[in-house]
């Protein structure tokens, strides 16, 4: 029952934000492409603040992180050289759970976080169970050998999640059969497969 409630919550959140956060939500939204609630089908004009807030929430939901985590990365992003909004997405994309998802080891960001937090992942041969761990270029990530024989990873190694995931981005070198990948370089915002108007997010945090 708990998983069913979580699934329904993700569908509702997806409809509210206008972006499919799970494969089930995507199927549902194709049938009912409007926001939940009695005003979902009507046209409502959002304030500038609500538009920016929603865009920030959309990005946060795609990485499945708390606001405190998002703000911490934002503070780091704006101290870096370059455009703060692009830096934000690039830094978020280097999270271990995000890259586990991109590589095809999981089907959703929630599953990817569980894979990491349940100690199934090695980084350069050492166990890492923090989903927020930032992978560095050159590091090798793989599913722990003892875990590779489990059904969930055997399915992943056969490419079963590729039907719902975007194409593997060029900043990852993936050997799916061996359940291993490396981050070849820092991702570029234009390559990261998330939907986000970073300018609106910058405006939200800069208000």
Strand partners, 175: 180
Classify burial at 45, counting beta carbons within 10 Å of its beta carbon; exposed 0-12, middle 13-18, buried 19 or more: exposed
pTM score? 0.82
Domains of the chain by range and CATH?
Answer: 2-92+194-206 (1.10.1050.10), 96-189 (3.10.290.10)
pLDDT, one tens digit per residue, over 120-149 is: 999 999 999 999 999 999 999 999 999 999
Least confident of 4-13, 20-29, 173-182, 193-202: 20-29
Residues with Cβ within 8 Å of residue 163, at least 6 apart in sequence = none
User: What pLDDT sits at residue 12?
Assistant: 74
pLDDT, one tens digit per residue, over 100-119 is: 999 999 999 999 999 999 99
Place of tokens 């041969």: 125
CA dist., res. 154 & res. 144, Å (int)? 12
Residue 174, H or E segment? strand 172-175
pLDDT, one tens digit per residue, over 16-73 is: 777 766 666 566 556 655 555 545 555 556 789 999 999 999 999 999 999 999 999 9
Strand partners, 134: 95
Q: In degrees rounded to 5, what are phi and psi of residue 3? A: -65, -35
Contact 104, 165 (CB under 8 A): yes
């Amino acid at each position: 029952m708990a998983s069913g409630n979580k699934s329904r919550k993700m569908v509702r959140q997806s409809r509210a934000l206008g972006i499919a956060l799970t494969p089930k939500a995507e199927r549902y939204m194709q049938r009912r492409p409007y926001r939940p609630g009695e005003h979902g089908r009507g046209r409502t004009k959002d304030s500038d603040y609500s538009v920016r807030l929603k865009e920030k929430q959309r990005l946060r939901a795609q990485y499945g992180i708390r606001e405190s985590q998002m703000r911490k990365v934002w503070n780091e992003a704006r101290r870096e050289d370059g455009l703060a909004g692009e830096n934000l997405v690039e830094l978020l994309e280097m999270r271990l759970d995000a890259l586990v998802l991109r590589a095809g080891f999981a089907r959703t960001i929630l599953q990817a976080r569980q894979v990491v937090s349940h100690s199934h992942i090695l980084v350069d041969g050492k166990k890492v169970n923090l989903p927020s761990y930032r992978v560095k270029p050159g590091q090798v990530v793989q599913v722990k050998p003892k875990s590779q024989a489990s059904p969930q990873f055997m399915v992943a190694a056969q490419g079963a999640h590729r039907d719902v995931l975007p194409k593997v981005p060029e900043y990852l070198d993936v050997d799916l059969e061996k359940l291993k990948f490396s981050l070849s370089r820092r991702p570029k915002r234009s390559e990261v497969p998330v939907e986000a108007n970073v300018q609106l997010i910058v405006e939200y945090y800069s208000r």
